[in-house]
Amino acid sequence: MPLFILICLAIGGAPDTSLKSADEALEAGDPQRALSLIEKFRPADDQNLGRKLRIEADAYVAQGDHVRAEERFARLEKLEGWAAHVRQQRAHAKNGAIKRQVTEVGSIVFALALAWLSLMGSRELLRLHRAPLFFVPAAIGAVLVMSRGSAQLGIALGVFALLVLTLIHATAAAMRRLSPGPRFKILLLTGLILGSLGALAAVAGRLETAVLG
């Protein structure tokens, strides 16, 4: 009898151990470890096959590997009882992809705005200007207040405030150097606004996590 059990475990794996450990790793935010824990697991029935495919799919979603995740989803939805989970995780994967795109676009917009404003400001960037100084106390106060409720929210707001402060300094430097007319001044302020929106988009994911958990 012991030999028979060992043979079964060798063929089908140890579901109670492997799958449970992989689930715990996934819940702890370590998808790579979850995948490694079930890599050699061979399910003996459809129930354990579904559990393994579900862990693999969720792990690949967490890693942003949508090609492998979709391959697991296609196999998983053919098993009885898993269709609802597949729909939910596909929607989650799609939302995650959209958020990453927003972050990437926001980062590009911020970088372009900062580069343009810095080019306009030139050597005036090395000087201290009054406009950023008015922003600093308000930003520090907001970060400190928000940090009391959530340290993660405070960090996210701190990063956003630092990015906006950089843009304000570059805009002030450009204003000082060029002494622009009304139209070009509006153009510089538009660069500041677009850069700030880009910075907000770049940290939006962290802010959402901090607020919604």
pLDDT means over runs of 10, the chain (213 residues): 44 64 90 91 89 92 88 93 91 85 92 94 85 82 78 83 93 92 94 95 73 51
**How many structural domains compose the chain?**
2
List pLDDT tens digits, range 138-150.
888 877 877 777 7
Comparing C-alpha atoms, which of 164, 159, 160 is closest to residue 195? 164
pLDDT at 16: 59
pLDDT at 191: 95
Domain of 208, in residue numbers: 102-212
What is the pTM assigned to this prediction?
0.69
Indicate if 17 and 111 belong to the same structural domain. no
Indicate if 120 and 181 belong to the same structural domain. yes
Q: How many CA atoms lie within 13 A of 99 on its CB side?
A: 14
3-state secondary structure of 12: helix
Indicate if 185 and 106 belong to the same structural domain. yes
Angle between helices 182-202 and 83-121 (to 10 degrees): 150
Task: Note whether residue 88 is domain-resident.
Answer: no
Task: Note whether residue 202 is domain-resident.
Answer: yes
pLDDT at 56: 94
List pLDDT tens digits, range 179-193.
999 999 999 999 999
pLDDT at 52: 93
Q: Which residue has the tokens 């090609």?
A: 67
Indicate if 114 and 191 belong to the same structural domain. yes
Comparing C-alpha atoms, which of 120, 127, 161 is closest to residue 144? 161
Percentages (nearest 5) of helix, strand, coil residues in the chain = 85, 0, 15
Domain boundary among 21, 51, 81: 81
Helix (H) or strand (E) holding 1: none
pLDDT at 195: 96
DSSP 102: H
Q: Which residue has the tokens 């843009």?
A: 167
